[in-house]
Amino acid sequence: MLIRFVRMTFKEEEVENFLLIFESSKHNIKNFPGCNHLELFQDYHNPAIFSTYSTWENDEYLDNYRNSELFKKVWKKTKVLFAESPVAYSQKKHTLVD
């Protein structure tokens, strides 16, 4: 399983616009083939910073999403709201053995 984090810093005046975009697209993203989970987090101290946490079957499914019309449509609307460049990274869960 691939775990994807994306940290986004928005212009303060654009936070509500981002939330509208996310609300209108979250179900389509959650239902995209290979997406198992999607959550949105807001920074505790800075309300203009959000992070998405999503899980994907593997990187092929994530790449399919990132190359999809859905992603292009959502990203086009979202990227103009940024105050800083987003930071995205993929990880896998590491289970420690005693």
- Indicate if the pLDDT at residue 97 is higher than 80: no
- Indicate if the pLDDT at residue 17 is higher than 80: yes
For residue 60, the enclosing domain spans: 2-91
In a domain, 75, yes or no: yes
In angstroms, the CA 13 to CA 4 distance is 26
Q: What is the pLDDT of residue 63?
A: 97
Residue among 35, 44, 32, 47 at smallest CA distance from 4: 35
Q: What is the pLDDT of residue 2?
A: 97
User: Strand pairing partners for 35?
Assistant: 56
Residue at token pair 């959502």: 74
Q: What is the pLDDT of residue 77?
A: 97
**48 Ramachandran zone, left/alpha/beta (phi>0; psi -120 to 50):** alpha
In a domain, 96, yes or no: no
Instruction: Specify the CATH number for the domain of residue 42.
Output: 3.30.70.100
Task: Name the CA dihedral angle for 68, 59, 1, 76, rounded to a multiple of 10 degrees.
Answer: -40
What tokens appear for 13 in the block? 């005046």
| pLDDT tens-digit map of 41-96 | 999 999 999 999 999 999 999 999 999 999 999 999 999 999 999 999 999 988 87
Q: Cβ distance 44 to 65 under 8 Å?
A: no
Number of domains making up the chain: 1
- Indicate if the pLDDT at residue 98 is higher than 80: no
